[in-house]
């Protein structure tokens, strides 16, 4: 609670006037003393009960959206008492990435501004305002904390209270056609991304059969051969659901403490979201991994390949929450996750830079029977090492994604 400069003096003034009126037997001074006492009582009343039974609430009509989409923000102030509030000011802390239509944000910090709203409420009155909010970019945003200030009609006393932050507004990343981000529309990740291609998964044993000329010797089942006296080979279960696993590198440089390239990261996020959307359109199992902090979720993004709307929504939300700051390099994340992926899964690695360790992880994945497509979002001066058998693209920044095949 904050009091005005005259707080506490009203009663002293009233007492002084009363004594003077009694001493001088002046009716005018007695009336003045009564008026001052009345004002002091009103101020004390507002100071004591101004914020009691007062609630301030705000909520988004929808808490999931894409950049640029309008979202209705409803602000409600309710006065549940007889005492009216002629002066009520709310200062709401708003991320600068959120634009409030027809409202100007006052500076608070580089990341946040202050939205100031004035209200006047009678007894037992509820006031509701609807504002339109648009997000400039993907992210996970909260309003608040808000500061609510109520004062008396004379401006001599003021009370303040703080209201906790609002629920999250999740702003998904952009999802665009692959040709718009510089990738070919037809078979952007090679034949292994096709639903119609069948291949044998060596981890899925289906039985044995007699050896036929041309069968590879490494598929000979020696125990069955010994038992039957004739060469037998393994029968492997073909798999038609090849799918994709997208790996996004949030490190702009080989060492995470060297800094961030925000444009390259946002380009990578847009690419990852668009590739997941493409796989979902083609009914392919798709997974998503990233070595960034995921606000409210944990230290890395880990979504194993799956089909359906659920994995698309999870991937978009994870990318919306994704932040830099994880100490785990992508090559280390790949070393932990790639061996668990089904044989033949196509990998898409999105990164600004390709250091020695990451290049090694890409080649190991390629040689393990999991074809890799590498998408580089950094400047053209950033070198890309020789990666035999790996399809490589280079694309531009977030403001103008474009690409060209470098090698295959």
Q: Are residues 267 and 382 in the same domain?
A: yes
Give the model's pLDDT for residue 347: 97
Q: Are residues 289 and 399 in the same domain?
A: yes
Q: Are residues 164 and 226 in the same domain?
A: no
pLDDT tens digit sequence for 55-78: 999 999 999 999 999 999 999 999
Residue of 222, 185, 216 whose CA lies nearest to 200: 216
Residue 366 lies in a domain: yes
Q: Are residues 37 and 118 in the same domain?
A: no
Give the chain's domain count.
4
Q: Are residues 58 and 143 in the same domain?
A: yes
CA distance 277 to 213: 43
Place of tokens 């493409």: 278
Give the model's pLDDT for residue 341: 92
Q: Are residues 218 and 333 in the same domain?
A: no
Residue 202 lies in a domain: no
Residue 123 lies in a domain: yes
Give the model's pLDDT for residue 105: 85
SS3 of residue 49 by DSSP: helix
Residue 388 lies in a domain: yes
For residue 363, what is the domain's CATH number?
3.40.50
pTM of the model: 0.76
Last residue within a domain, chosen from 49, 71, 86: 49
pLDDT tens digit sequence for 125-148: 999 999 999 999 999 999 999 999
Residue 203 lies in a domain: no
How many CA atoms lie less than 13 Å away from 57 in the CB half-sphere? 12
Question: Cα 307 vs. chain centroid, distance in angstroms?
Answer: 22
How many CA atoms lie less than 13 Å away from 236 in the CB half-sphere? 18
Question: What separation, in Å, do the N-terminal and C-terminal C-alpha atoms of the chain show?
Answer: 68
Place of tokens 């999802």: 175
Q: Which residues constitute the domain of residue 298?
A: 178-195+241-407
Q: Are residues 254 and 314 in the same domain?
A: yes
**Positions of E strands within 313-365:** 322-323, 346-351
Residue 16 lies in a domain: yes
Q: Are residues 299 and 395 in the same domain?
A: yes
Question: Token pair of 190, please?
Answer: 């090679």
Residue 219 lies in a domain: yes
Q: Are residues 296 and 349 in the same domain?
A: yes
CA distance 385 to 350: 15
User: Taking residues 36-45, what's their average pLDDT?
Assistant: 59
Q: Are residues 305 and 215 in the same domain?
A: no
Q: Are residues 213 and 271 in the same domain?
A: no
Q: Are residues 252 and 401 in the same domain?
A: yes
Give the model's pLDDT for residue 28: 61
């Amino acid at each position: 609670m904050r009091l005005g400069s005259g707080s506490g003096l009203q009663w002293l003034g009233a007492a002084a006037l009363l004594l003077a009126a009694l001493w001088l037997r002046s009716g005018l001074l007695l009336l003045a003393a009564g008026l001052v006492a009345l004002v002091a009582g009103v101020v004390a009343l507002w100071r004591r009960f101004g914020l009691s039974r007062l609630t301030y609430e705000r909520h988004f009509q929808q808490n999931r959206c894409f950049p640029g989409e309008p979202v209705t923000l409803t602000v409600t102030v309710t006065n549940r008492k007889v005492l009216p509030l002629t002066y009520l000011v709310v200062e709401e802390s708003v991320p600068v990435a959120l634009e409030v239509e027809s409202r100007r944000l006052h500076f608070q910090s580089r990341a946040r501004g202050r939205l100031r709203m004035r209200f006047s409420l009678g007894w037992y009155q509820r006031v509701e305002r609807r504002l339109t909010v648009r997000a400039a970019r993907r992210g996970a945003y909260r309003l608040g904390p808000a500061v609510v200030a109520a004062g008396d009609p004379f401006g001599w006393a003021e009370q303040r209270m703080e209201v906790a932050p609002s629920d999250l507004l999740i702003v998904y990343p952009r999802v665009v056609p692959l040709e718009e981000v510089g990738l070919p529309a037809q078979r952007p990740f090679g034949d292994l991304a096709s639903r119609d291609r069948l291949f044998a998964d060596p981890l899925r044993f289906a039985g044995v059969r007699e050896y036929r000329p041309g069968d590879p010797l490494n598929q000979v089942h020696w125990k069955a051969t010994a038992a039957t006296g004739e060469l037998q080979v393994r029968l492997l279960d073909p798999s038609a659901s090849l799918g994709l696993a997208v790996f996004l590198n949030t490190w702009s440089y080989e060492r995470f403490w060297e800094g961030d390239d925000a444009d390259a990261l946002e380009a990578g996020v847009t690419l990852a979201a668009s590739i997941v959307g493409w796989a979902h359109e083609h009914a392919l199992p798709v997974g998503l991994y990233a070595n960034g902090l995921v606000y409210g979720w944990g230290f890395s993004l880990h979504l194993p390949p799956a089909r359906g709307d659920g994995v698309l929504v999870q991937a978009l939300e994870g990318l919306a929450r994704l932040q830099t700051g994880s100490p785990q390099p992508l090559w280390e994340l790949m070393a932990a996750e790639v061996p668990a992926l089904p044989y033949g899964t196509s990998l898409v690695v999105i990164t600004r830079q390709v250091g020695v360790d990451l290049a090694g992880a890409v080649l190991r994945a390629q040689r393990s029977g999991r074809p890799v497509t590498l998408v580089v979002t950094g400047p053209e001066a950033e070198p890309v090492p020789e990666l035999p058998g790996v399809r490589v693209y280079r694309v531009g920044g977030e403001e103008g994604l474009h690409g060209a095949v470098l090698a295959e």
